[in-house]
Amino acid sequence: MKLRYSILTFLLFCTGTLFGQGIKFTASVNKNPVATGDIVEITFAVNGNAERFSPPQFTGFQVAGGPNESQSMEIINGNSSVSMSYSYELMAVKEGDFTIGPATTIVNGHSYTTNPIRIKVIKGRSVPQNSSAQTQNGPDNSITSAKTSNLAKSIFIKAVVDKSNVYMGQQITLSYRLYVRGVGIEQNQPDAIPELNGFWSEDIKHTQQQVQWHTETYKGERYNVADLKQTILFPEREGNLTIDPLGMKFVLRVQAPSEDIMDQFFGSYKQVPYTTKSAPVTIHVKPLPQAGKPDSFTGAVGEFQIESSVDKTTLKANDALNYKVKVSGRGNIKLLKTLSTNFPADFDKYDPKITDSVIENENGVAGDRYYNYLLIPRHQGDYTIDPLKFSYFNPAANRYVTLTTKAFHIKVDKGNSQSNVTAFSDGDKQDIKMLDKDIRYIKTDDSSLSNSGDLFFGSFGYYILLLLGPCLCFAAYLYRNWLIKNNSDIVKVKSRQAGKIAAKHLANAQNQLQAGNAKAFYEDVFKGLYGYLSDKLNIQYANLNKETIASAMKEKKVSSRLLDQLQDTLDLCEMARYAPVTHISEREVFEKAKSIINEIENEI
């Protein structure tokens, strides 16, 4: 089985490699050479859905326009393809041979780069130093150094958090705030995007399309202030975590000295390129206290309420019953794990359908999460659905809180007779047909019989066949005993088939990865790992959690390193089902899941 699984994972890897070979990321210019003072257009094109495009440095040129982004979709015979392009208008400012470096982008989790382009700039019209065309190497030298140094006081970015000393899992509101005084902004574009490692993040989406400005006094000076980006953070580990800076590139309109008396009267202005970024911010993250931690605590941090309901209290056996749980409040509600439920043993339970109704704003994440469990009682009787316990940590009160739902008494009546057949009925042949199709009826009509040939009786072949019958019966008996013994241990049977089931889910995840469906990809990887662990460790799927997996793996003497990799991958897949993950690619997650399953097969 290990050999078959290894071959399957190798084929999946090769398939993923072939699918990724069709992406092309190219760079081109509309003319070469170009004269000084003229405009050349450079275009970066990719035949895929690009993410995180990063342009190169345009040394020797002034960016006169861009980036101009375009996207097209083509459908041929039901197959769709997406193409994207980014173009810039560059002004050549001095003669020479210049090389524009490679641009980078991400497509389907893979990084692609363009080839460098060499552009020759010949002599043309001169570019005045007091024009708006400034080189990218620095600001206009005609601006006094004192004026340039004051730009840092005239425009800057601050990273502002509502709290810097928190518990693990406690939400933080982060705002990258732009302060402007005495200068105008002609152009702007991002320069450094923060990665926010160590945090689960959720961007706040504002209804207004334009940046909202207001005035604020900072260090005794009045500034025009706008929030460039607002994000809600949930620290995922304890210790000192650093919030990365946000960088921006600007073309500023600043006042410049002039000898012209009219310019002195009406004011002389020049455009100056300027780059700034916020200072890093350190967040002190404390571990959740161990004292008083209830057994029902699974990581919820904030303030919550809980309620439950059933759609019926009386039903027949084999009918469906919906048990609903609603968790409301403010905190890491999107990171809540599956609730620990305790239903009657006679009830079949299916994985809950989880839906969220939440909002994100400056005050954090708040709303409702709904768990809908489908239950099917198999026999009649009176049953009780025990109260459900839900615990969370309240950072404001610095204590754990346990909430309990009410119990439900369920009466199950006898179900449809066709669904509960336990013995033969006294009815006609139709009743027997409902049980199976391998029962044949006794023939009551006359059947003709024929005598066997006299020549065959007593021959050598006759005695060979006569001996062959008992030998085959004995061989069948041995095979039957071996088959019963081999399949009698359900745990071993499920363990042998665990790799095959996991490979099926990973194959589905491979398809979702190629299709660019990140959410479905993480769900298939999560189901593949959980289904594999359920069969391999002989633990019901509904009872799997971090503690039961760790305990069972330690009993199997699995290395702690492998156990940590497994726990990290499961947590990553669970988080990615509700929000984007940026610090690791889907391809790396897929390879990591395959490697974990292979190592578990080798160690167990």
- The residues, ordered by sequence, that sit 6+ positions from 363 with a Cβ below 8 Å of its Cβ are 173, 330
Same fold: 23-122 with 304-417: yes
List C-alpha distances in Å: 555 to 138, 549, 551, 563. 64, 10, 6, 12
Residue 194: which of 85, 78, 279, 74 has the closest Cα?
A: 279
- The residues, ordered by sequence, that sit 6+ positions from 63 with a Cβ below 8 Å of its Cβ are 88, 89, 90, 136
User: What SS3 state is found at 62?
Assistant: strand
* Between residues 569 and 64, the one the model is more confident about: 569
**Percentage of the chain modeled with pLDDT above 90:** 26
Residue type, 20: G
153-191 pLDDT, tens per residue?
889 999 999 999 999 999 999 999 999 988 888 888 888
User: What SS3 state is found at 44?
Assistant: strand
For the beta sheet containing 247-255, the strands, ordered from the edge strand earlier in sequence to the opposite edge, are 184-192, 247-255, 269-277
Phi, psi of 407 (to 5 degrees): -85, 155
508-567 pLDDT, tens per residue?
888 887 887 877 888 888 888 888 888 777 887 777 777 888 888 888 788 888 888 888
What are the DSSP calls for 235-301, one per residue?
A: E-SSEEEEEPP-EEEEEEEEE---S-HHHHHH--EEEEEEEEEPPPEEEEEEPPP-TT--TTEEEEE
pLDDT, average across residues 493-514: 72
252-277 pLDDT, tens per residue?
888 765 555 544 444 567 788 899 99
Distance from C-alpha of 28 to C-alpha of 115, rounded to nearest angstrom: 9
416-447 pLDDT, tens per residue?
754 443 333 333 333 343 434 455 556 656 55
Domain locations in the chain as residue ranges = 23-122, 145-286, 304-417, 490-603
Distance from C-alpha of 101 to C-alpha of 300, rounded to nearest angstrom: 47
CATH 1.20.120 fits 490-603, yes or no: yes
DSSP character at residue 387: P
How many Cα atoms sit within 13 Å of 112 on the Cβ side? 24
CATH 2.60.40.10 fits 23-122, yes or no: yes
Distance from C-alpha of 190 to C-alpha of 586, rounded to nearest angstrom: 25
The pLDDT of residue 598 is 84
Q: Does the pLDDT at position 581 exceed 80?
A: no
Q: Residue 88's Cα: distance from chain center in Å? A: 33
Distance from C-alpha of 512 to C-alpha of 520, rounded to nearest angstrom: 6
- The residues, ordered by sequence, that sit 6+ positions from 46 with a Cβ below 8 Å of its Cβ are 23, 24, 25, 26, 83, 84, 85, 105, 107, 112
Architecture of the domain whose range is 304-417: Sandwich (2.60)
Q: Are 529 and 562 in contact (CB under 8 A)?
A: no
Residue 282: which of 241, 313, 251, 316 has the closest Cα?
A: 241
pLDDT, average across residues 386-413: 93
